[in-house]
Amino acid sequence: MDRVLVRLIAATSLLALSLLPALSEPKHGIAMQGEPALPADYSHFDYVNPDAPKGGSVTYCVVGSFDNLNPFILKSLRTTARGMIDTVYGNLVFEPLMQRNYNEPFSLYGLLADSADMDPERKSIEFHLNPKAKWSDGQPVTPEDVLFTYDVFTDKGRPPYSDRMSMIAKLEKTGDHSVKFTFNDKANREFPLIIALTPIIPKHAFDKDTFDKTTLKPLVGSGPYTVDKVQPGQRIVFKRNPSYWGKDVPSKRGFDNFDQITIEYFLNANAKTEAFKKGICALDDETDPVKRDRDIDFPAFRKGEVKQEFFDTGIPPVVTGFLFNTRLPKFSNPVVRRALGMLYDFEWANKNLFAGKFNRTMSFWQNSELSALGHQADDREKALLAPYPGRVPAEVMDGTWRPPVTDGSGQDRKVLRAAFELLKGAGYHVEDGRMLDPEGNPFGFEIMTSSQDEERLAALYQRTLEKIGIDVTIRSLDGDQIQSRKQRFDFEVLIGTSGFNNSLSPGSEQVGRWGSVAARQEGSFNLAGVADPAVDAAIKAMLNARAKEDYVAAVRVLDRLLISGNYIVPMQYNTQQWLAYWSYLEHPQKTPIFGYQLPTWWRKPN
């Protein structure tokens, strides 16, 4: 009987253990969908040269100005200096807990934290800090720094950093080198990855009371560079830290190869181009094919001292176009916005301005499975849209919608007539050659521009709109003025983008671009002022999707809603990236799906 009892107890114990939730284990990487592509023993990302030579200097050039080095605050008279945290030039000064691999849709690998322990339900994540991680002044990175970061960002930071604690139920130090985040019901399945990508700042080097004040004092970070020299509004010089703690971390091998990085500021794009020709700037990233074909024909290029190259990308193009501030009554009616959207003559612009080298932008995730174009809405999508009847026209639901195509003459009356009929149906009419709104007031608006290229596109749009009596004015402002007015939503129409670089894994950034809460937050990226519960629901479904099919359906619903909302008049795109650069620069052979990565480039040894 005793043996039987022992066996029964053992069997019962094993059964009880088998019913317990599976315990998660710390991992070298995490992914939004599935598992990271690289194994735990990976040595470097596959789009870098791990043996790239270190040394030399490089100068990048931008248009604009700056008067602040703290990228985490809202109060800035102009803008924050590039490079402190930067998607183009790299996070030179401040780093996140984990590093993104730009050859995967959305996977992160160890950096300040060498591993992460995320529970299967994504209700919590524990980061294990790399014991070698140090700030540029030599002090260690600690859990207290992580706690301080979230404390000061919540009280004194700018969106989106200031909003993140609202989704955290508990933030605690769990060991000498570990910190755990427990999430509340507001969080979504992507949020642990957003936490992993949030830059961390040192507690000992910042004063919380003055954190929200602009500063030009070099700041302490954990990144590969320190601020060496600052000339406000003109130049910032970064010097590679010879004691950088992370140079041998696999996710950083092959990166940060220059001893010195200088970012020069110019008042306009033409001045920047001329500086490139003189050898001041290392590269030129002009997007206008006609302008670059003209400007590249200079002596250094003909001698082979300057190269030009096209880089293929695998991500949807960023949507650029005329963006309406829908907070204003004149743009509150989507029918009016739809009519205005019909009046951008892409065919004429492509033929006369871009030498036929562009394609028309029609979707926010064009050329990917996430796009609504060519895809009929399935049952999952219809279920998501069921509480919001009438939001999406039939042709957008079945994937056949396309913007009107003109004859390219600049005088296509059929498109003008169709747009006019829409406006007429909304109560507008023409009197003495002027378009009047339903109250009898003249209908018109101002387009804000920041460059000659933008002025040229605005003038094209202006000419078409004037043909049906819509009075359009163009106001040219410098980069600082544009930025200030964008932060305050003080504009009618601007030539803008739907966000920063687009992605095959859209996530929480969509809340900031299109969410109702962000529409009311000064300084947010929801410039259009989109405040639609259907859009909010689509974003929520996307962020909480577990299966890929559900995720794709939610993104397509978001795409259909944004197309139907006519918040922006999309213009044109080219999926290839073009760069001209001086031949002393070299880059890895492989281009990741997100395009070229300047932090992996190097200077040829003398």
**Three-state DSSP state, 569:** strand
Mean local confidence (pLDDT), 36-50: 97
pLDDT at 76: 59
* pLDDT of residue 20 exceeding 70: no
pLDDT at 24: 59
pLDDT digits (tens, 9 = 90+) for 137-157: 999 999 999 999 999 999 999
- Six-digit token pair at 91? 């996070």
pLDDT digits (tens, 9 = 90+) for 180-231: 999 999 999 999 999 999 999 999 999 999 999 999 999 999 999 999 999 9
pLDDT digits (tens, 9 = 90+) for 117-142: 999 999 999 999 999 999 999 999 99
pLDDT at 523: 81
pLDDT digits (tens, 9 = 90+) for 296-310: 999 999 999 999 999
Nearest to 462 by CA among 471, 452, 454, 453: 471
- Six-digit token pair at 494? 């601007």
559-596 burial by CB neighbour count: b if 16+ within 10 A, else e? Answer: bbbbbbbbbbbbbbbeeebbbbbbeebbbbeebbbbbb
CB-neighbour burial class of residue 308 (10 A; exposed 0-12, middle 13-18, buried 19+): middle
Diameter of the chain by CA atoms? 106
311 neighbors 579 (Cβ within 8 angstroms): yes
Neighbouring C-beta atoms of residue 53, cutoff 10 Å: 12
* pLDDT of residue 72 exceeding 60: yes
Mean local confidence (pLDDT), 455-482: 92
Percent helix, strand, coil in the chain (nearest 5)?
Answer: 30, 20, 50
CB within 8 Å of 173: residues ≥ 6 apart: 143, 144, 147, 179
Indicate the pLDDT class of residue 13, thresholds 50, 70 and 90: very low
* pLDDT of residue 583 exceeding 60: yes
pLDDT at 499: 52
Helix H or strand E segment including 386: none
pLDDT digits (tens, 9 = 90+) for 373-391: 999 999 999 999 999 999 9
- Mean pLDDT across the chain, nearest whole number? 92
pLDDT at 103: 96
CB within 8 Å of 150: residues ≥ 6 apart: 164, 165, 168, 171
80 or 588, greater pLDDT? 588
CB within 8 Å of 31: residues ≥ 6 apart: 37, 104, 106, 107, 108
pTM equals: 0.80
Number of alpha helices (DSSP H) and beta strands (DSSP E) in the chain: 17, 27
DSSP symbols for 76-125: -SS-BPTTSS-TTT--SS-EESEEE-TTSSSEEEESSEEEEEE-TT-SEE
Fill in the DSSP letter of residue 58: E
